[in-house]
Structures are given as structure tokens and as C-alpha cells.
């Protein structure tokens, strides 16, 4: 185990153990048992097994903590001040189509005085063995297992000319609202920038923005487990993170992220109401 804080270490342990099953099933896609959860929104046996593994490890390490999980929903704990927010497989559609771009996302939320705050978060990509992580007030980091496992502080992009920038977003699929609006947003951003990417895993979009691979990100209608860990990682990397609509970004799921230099321009182009 890497020399990380106890909470990051146990979250990393849970993500890595769950990822062993994900990688095994990813290599044997034809054997997956797949069920429908909604239009074009699939849940695999691997997804559910990964969540069970994560829940078991974190429950043993932090007894009493509550959970909010994509598949199992809310699990109340005796400790009402802490809960883990878990997406065991972000990028499920990529996974089921054999696209090697998916992640495990785990965040820890603390609520001491009626105001919840994110205090720790990890996003782990099993395919690349990249661990993005942050703790409140301690900065954001990347540990790349392929490069010897050394931690590197995340430095977001410093570009300040919009036309030189690459942005990321999500595209609503069958059964999701907002198709027409997104087409307008894409028109506003694509015509003035170096491009827009859509890779299909919001947690990694946020992590890659924190790492400077993207210069900004926006999307609407995301679930809290999609973005909780990534929000903290981006904030700790020094990026500006806000909701596109009134309310907390974790409540609305309507998120925009970029550096201060690009903020006004990106906001204007995707929030034109």
C-alpha cells in the first residue's frame, strides 16, 4: 500500500480490489449477465459485484459510516456525520461495449454542523492504473502505477486563450432530456475553441480537467455519485467549480469547471439563458 493518509489508503484499497473483478469481466464481456435499468442505461453483474466489494471493505474500515451508492441507494449508518458516496463503475456503457475508459469513484462527505462538505475523494482507472485523489485543504494528486507509483500534484491547465483550449462534456442519450440545448451549447463552444471531447465517464472527465488534459468541463443532470469525488479533486487542484443552475452543484448535477481566465467565456457560451 502506498504511503497515503488512512482514509485515502482504505478508499484506494477498496477501489483496487473491486477493480480486479471489473478487469476480469472486462476481458470476458461475452459472459457478462446484463440487465436493463432504463433506456440505454445498463447495469452489469460486474457493476453490482464491485459495489458490494467496496461497501464491505469501507464498512469494515469505518464502521458506522453511512453510504450513498449508485446501485443500492442509501444505507444509513450509526454515525450520522459521515457517509461515503460511491459509483462502482462510472462509464458502464463504455465497459459493456469493450471501450477501455471507465473508473471507480469514491467520495467521503462530512456533516458536522448541518452543512455537508466533501473531505476526501478518489477516482481510480483500472485500465491505466491511474489514481486521482484529494483531501480537503491538502491539494489534489495523481498516482500513476505504470510510472513507479510516485504521487504528482495535479496542475490544471493555465491556458487563457479560448481558441487554444479543449473542453469536455457529456451528451444525453436515449431517454435523457436536453438534446436540443446541448446542440446549441456545442455550437457555441466548438466554433470558438480547439474542440470538444465526449468520452463517456464523467468522473474521469473531472479528473482529466484537474490534470490539465482538458481546459474545462460542463454537463447537466449528473448524479451526485458521478461527480462527488471529482468536484473535490478539481477544487483542490485550484479550479473553479460551480453549478450551472441555482443551488449546490451536488444537488443540481449541473456543473461547470474551468480556470479563472476562461470562466466568463465558457459560462457565457453554455449558460446563455
pLDDT, block means (10 residues), the chain with 273 residues = 83 97 85 62 82 98 97 94 98 90 98 92 97 97 82 94 98 88 96 97 98 97 97 98 96 97 97 79
Q: Which CATH number fits domain 162-270: 3.40.50.920, 3.40.640.10, 3.90.1150.140, 3.40.190.80?
A: 3.40.190.80
Please state the domain extents for the chain.
Answer: 6-153, 162-270
Whole-angstrom distance, CA of residue 65 vs CA of residue 197:
37
183 contacts 232 by C-beta, under 8 angstroms: no
pLDDT of the residue at 1: 41
Classified by CATH at the fold level, domain 6-153 comes out as: Fructose-1,6-Bisphosphatase; Chain A, domain 1 (3.30.540)
Output the pTM of the full model: 0.94
| Whether the Cβ atoms of residue 220 and residue 254 lie closer than 8 Å to each other | yes
Cβ contacts of 43 within 8 Å, gap of 6 or more: 34, 35, 36, 37, 71, 92
> Which H helix or E strand runs over 224?
helix 224-237
pLDDT for res 2: 56
Q: Where are the beta strands (DSSP E) in the chain?
A: 34-38, 41-44, 65-69, 73-75, 79-90, 103-110, 117-125, 130-135, 139-144, 151-153, 166-169, 195-197, 216-219, 240-243, 255-258
Q: What pLDDT sits at residue 74?
A: 96
Q: Do domains 6-153 and 162-270 have the same CATH topology?
A: no
The 8-class DSSP code of residue 164 comes to G
Amino acid at each position: 500500500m502506498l504511503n497515503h493518509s488512512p482514509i485515502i489508503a482504505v478508499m484506494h484499497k477498496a477501489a483496487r480490489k473491486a477493480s480486479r473483478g471489473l478487469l476480469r469481466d472486462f476481458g470476458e464481456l461475452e459472459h457478462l449477465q446484463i440487465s436493463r435499468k432504463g433506456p440505454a442505461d445498463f447495469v452489469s453483474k460486474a457493476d453490482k459485484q464491485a459495489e458490494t466489494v467496496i461497501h464491505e471493505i469501507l464498512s469494515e474500515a469505518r464502521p458506522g459510516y453511512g453510504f450513498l451508492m449508485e446501485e443500492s441507494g442509501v444505507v444509513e449508518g450509526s454515525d450520522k456525520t459521515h457517509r461515503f458516496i460511491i459509483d462502482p463503475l462510472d462509464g458502464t456503457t463504455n465497459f459493456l461495449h469493450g471501450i477501455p475508459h471507465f473508473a471507480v469513484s469514491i467520495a467521503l462527505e462530512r456533516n458536522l454542523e448541518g452543512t455537508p462538505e466533501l473531505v476526501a475523494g478518489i477516482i481510480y482507472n483500472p485500465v491505466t492504473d491511474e489514481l486521482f485523489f484529494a483531501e480537503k485543504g491538502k491539494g489534489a494528486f495523481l498516482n500513476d502505477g505504470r510510472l513507479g507509483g510516485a504521487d504528482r500534484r495535479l496542475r490544471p491547465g493555465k491556458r487563457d486563450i479560448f481558441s487554444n483550449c479543449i473542453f469536455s462534456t457529456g451528451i444525453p442519450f436515449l431517454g435523457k432530456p436536453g438534446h436540443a440545448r446541448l446542440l446549441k451549447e456545442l455550437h457555441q463552444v466548438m466554433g470558438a475553441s480547439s474542440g470538444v471531447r465526449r468520452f463517456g465517464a464523467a468522473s474521469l472527465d473531472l479528473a482529466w480537467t484537474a490534470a490539465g488534459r482538458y481546459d474545462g468541463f460542463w454537463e447537466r443532470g449528473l448524479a451526485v455519485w458521478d461527480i462527488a469525488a471529482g468536484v473535490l479533486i478539481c477544487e483542490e487542484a485550484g479550479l473553479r467549480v460551480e453549478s450551472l443552475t441555482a443551488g449546490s452543484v451536488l444537488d443540481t448535477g449541473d456543473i461547470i469547471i474551468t480556470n479563472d481566465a476562461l470562466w466568463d467565456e465558457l459560462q457565457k457560451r453554455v449558460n446563455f439563458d
